Structure 1
Amino acid sequence: MSTTAVGLRQNPAARFWDSTNGKKAVMAVTGAILFLFVIGHLAGNLQIFEGREKLNAYGHFLHSIGEVLWIVRVILIVAVVLHITATVQLALRKKRARPVGYSRREAIASSYASRTMYWSGPIVLAFVIFHLLQFTAGYIHPESQFIEGDVYRNVVAGFQVWWVSAWYIFSLCLLGLHLRHGIWSMFQSVGFNHPKHTPQLKSAALIIAVLIVLGYISIPISVLLGIVK
């Protein structure tokens, strides 16, 4: 056995990461970080309904705290990488534990959200990258439409393109499925999994996910309907 392998076995952090419970804990913590970001980002985005000045002031504030903003970005990037890595490794570990599939697969205890967890995550990630390229970097916008610093105009101009709004709404619906299962899993991880409270907790996870999705998609829908101009 190599010295490196021995060192990894003796390293508590490496042992924790290598364990199934460790990966689940990492998924829970990083998921909580990303969930807080989703809530904060939604609160900022909804300021579009308060007018151009309000949303542009919010965008200017974010750029004025450059160092802090980059720290937050780094934390989010690390959280995303760890979250996806732990998810993929757990999925592969589960597959290796049962190399031969079920002759008849029935989703008795799992929900549609949990069964789509592994593929909805990468699609949501692709959406986030697209979203940043469009509204933050301005690469996807035509040059005549993207004006740096005018967040309100860039958002409205972007969502006036129907396929951009359609992709946004589709991705947010997948995010809702992801959140529904993730929030329920978070309740289980912290010990709120007593059979007596299971129906209420599942309903709470669904309601939270639906409210978040409705909040986000209300923006492109309002732009397409001409409510936000």
Structure 2
Amino acid sequence: MQINHTRNGVIALCQDTPTTLARDWFSVDYWRAKNAVVGSSKGRYTTWFVQADAQAERPHWVLRHYWRGGLMEKISRDAYFYTGLSNTRAMAELALLDILYREGFSVPKPIAANIERHGLCYRADIIIERVAGAEDLVARLSKTQMSDSEWQRLGAKLAQFHRRGVYHADLNAKNILITATDFYLIDFDRGELRSPSKGWQRANLQRLLRSFNKEKSKCPALAFTEANWQLLLAGYNSALAD
């Protein structure tokens, strides 16, 4: 990973990232001026999809700013107390993704992170590669069912991450993408590598189950049932035991 120092902070670049990448690239206004914004995902805040290369067949990038939530949001929407570069939200997420991507895990390719110091605080952004042909599980299940084998494969995929000790701080149905051939985990903000333990692994799965049930309550037609969950657990337990 390459660290480039800027006037107010640093830009961290991962493998194959253009060395010309500058601070402006972390601003959606920069991409708007180039007519390169190709979409967005709206949650509590907006994540932007941009076309970083003029050639349409090249992968799109995902640009995300780090925003606060909960009670701290009332104090500051996006400023975090600085305790060192490796402790910043963006650097920690980029480093974790870099490890997992290099090891062949189904995660987005990390591109770069931007950390800007402001006195005792910092603000940050991250750029990752968009997973081509993917949609999140809520979008998929709102339209169609997944097969029994897909539910089992999803469970096995989660077990693969857990066996490595990957803790996902916000494991929910919208942070799991499905493509024609695979499942991907996204949004590793506050994620980390831990010693494998049934305690946090079980809590991680329960968080996912609560997410499915929450989405089901909002959309009764969502193709999720207790039988689906049991298939997921069967795939998970089988893969974890291997």
TM over 0.5: no
Q: Which has the higher contact order (CA 8 A, sep 6+)?
A: 1
TM-score category by the smaller chain?
under 0.3
Q: What is the TM-score with the length of structure 1 in the denominator?
A: 0.26
| TM-score, normalised with respect to structure 2 | 0.25
Structure having the higher strand fraction is 2
